[in-house]
Amino acid sequence: MRDQSTELIHQPYTPPEGFAAPQPGVFKASTVFFPNVAAMRSREWKDKSAYTYGLHGTPTTYTLEERLCTLEGGLQCVLAPSGLAAIALVAMALLKSGDELLIPDNVYGPNKTFSEGELAAWGITHRYYDPLSVPDLVAKIGARTRLVWLEAAGSVTLEFPDLCEQVRACQRAGVLTALDNTWGAGLAFAPFDLSPGSAEPLGVDVSVHALTKYPSGGGDVLMGSVITREPALHLKIKLAHMRLGLGVGANDAEAVLRALPSMVLRYQAHDQRARALAQWCLSQNVFAQVLHPALAASPGHAHWAALCGRDSGGAAGLFSVIFRPDVDQQRVDAFCDALKLFKIGYSWGGPISLVVPYDLASMRSTWPDHLARGTLVRFATGLESVADLQADLAQALRLAMA
């Protein structure tokens, strides 16, 4: 008779096969069992044909990876513990000392910080290019350029670049393109098929997505993905991913799996609210500029219309305003503080609307000509009603500007 503790741990019951329910199960593991040593030696983890270790994949993470490939039109995916970790992974996998990368000046801020604070120390240099000028990008591609980051629309200021021409220019120069696709989310446009129906397929090499935003949808999960269509490129990223030990928790993966089915509907709802509120802000003379790619006067609008404007178009749930220069920082802060439904907080993609004032001067190499001077405030719409959100903006403006 074996000891009770042993009996409990090795209790032989296994439930019947064939359980089917709306949500896939959550498989949690560091250790994965092998039936024998031969299996341990022969199992391959790089191609998802088997399981070897929790870090290398479980049914939960494999399932999420495949669904994200479907969302973005890719063929391979790796998951990272945050969107920023996914960005860092791409650079670490594809660049080595002596290489240079190009970054749009309106890129997600921590991408700049990572390049300045880490890559530079490893001998990997970077240059910032004007996201609205393809000639500027072309001029900055040099003999050491290996990777070009793209982002559409750009973070905070939401300029929409000529993504197709940017990708063409990079392809001509033989440099890899990595798109931060968090805004488009696989819904506003297809990152691997930027000119659908054309004879020559056009797409980015790598799509990075902060799943923290719309795929999670709750403001309660941090995760990122790196999606590709090229097996050799994927393998490079996958090997770096394994060497760096970038795992994600199964409960978090399950949370994203649970939210994915409603993502299209949520994205449309965020989009509809942001467009309506951005339109309303245009009528408020306290704002010198309203930034939202679907507004005709917003920088890069024509590029947005060409890429995302088919059917109803997609434009996510973000917009920014630049206050008139005579509205000082104190009043802008008072406006943000006076908002009741819009909470003050970073990130976006959840049900609650958010607001952040940004110090643009500290974020850009130079203040771009296409942006008015003044304090910028970025809004991320949640799922509250347009009427209530608009009333909230109006009451906060009345209070702060009185």
Ligand X SMILES: *Cc1c(COP(=O)(O)O)cnc(C)c1O
Residue of the chain from 76, 182, 298, 320 that contacts ligand X (CB under 6 A)? 182
Report how far residue 266's alpha carbon sits from residue 353's, in angstroms, rounded to the nearest whole number: 13
CB 89 within 8 A of CB 237: yes
Report how far residue 392's alpha carbon sits from residue 386's, in angstroms, rounded to the nearest whole number: 10
Report how far residue 129's alpha carbon sits from residue 389's, in angstroms, rounded to the nearest whole number: 36
Binding range to ligand X, per CB under 6 A, among 60-68, 76-84, 193-201, 384-392:
76-84
Candidates 292, 272, 271; CA nearest to 282 is: 292
Candidates 75, 101, 108, 276; CA nearest to 191 is: 75
Taking CB atoms, the residue at the shortest distance from ligand X is 83
Residue of the chain from 132, 148, 210, 400 that contacts ligand X (CB under 6 A)? 210
CB 144 within 8 A of CB 98: yes
CB of 210 to ligand X, least distance (A): 3
Q: Which is nearer to ligand X, 195 or 347 (CB)?
A: 347
Residue of the chain from 64, 69, 78, 84 that contacts ligand X (CB under 6 A)? 84
| Residues facing residue 210 across a β-bridge | 224
Report how far residue 123's alpha carbon sits from residue 100's, in angstroms, rounded to the nearest whole number: 9
Q: Which is nearer to ligand X, 240 or 400 (CB)?
A: 240
157 binds ligand X per the rule CB under 6 A: no
289 binds ligand X per the rule CB under 6 A: no
Q: Which is nearer to ligand X, 155 or 207 (CB)?
A: 155
> What x-and-dash track marks residues 334-373 binding ligand X by CB under 6 A?
-------------x--------------------------
155 binds ligand X per the rule CB under 6 A: yes
Q: Quick one: CA dihedral 253, 254, 255, 261, positive or negative? A: positive
82 binds ligand X per the rule CB under 6 A: yes
Binding range to ligand X, per CB under 6 A, among 15-23, 81-89, 125-133, 392-400:
81-89
Candidates 56, 137, 122; CA nearest to 88 is: 122
CB 337 within 8 A of CB 397: no
Binding range to ligand X, per CB under 6 A, among 71-79, 132-140, 206-214, 237-245:
206-214
Residue of the chain from 51, 108, 129, 287 that contacts ligand X (CB under 6 A)? 108
Report how far residue 317's alpha carbon sits from residue 348's, in angstroms, rounded to the nearest whole number: 8
Report how far residue 367's alpha carbon sits from residue 132's, in angstroms, rounded to the nearest whole number: 13
298 binds ligand X per the rule CB under 6 A: no
Instruction: With H, G, I as helix, E, B as strand and everything else as coil, classify residue 388.
Output: helix
Report how far residue 30's alpha carbon sits from residue 9's, in angstroms, rounded to the nearest whole number: 17
CB 154 within 8 A of CB 321: no
CB of 268 to ligand X, least distance (A): 19
104 binds ligand X per the rule CB under 6 A: no
> What x-and-dash track marks residues 220-259 binding ligand X by CB under 6 A?
--x-x-----------------------------------
Size of site (CB under 6 A) for ligand X: 13
Residue of the chain from 54, 57, 74, 83 that contacts ligand X (CB under 6 A)? 83
Six-digit token string for 258:
């649970």
What does the binding site for ligand X look like in residue numbers (CB under 6 A)?
Answer: 82-84, 108, 155, 180, 182, 210, 212-213, 222, 224, 347
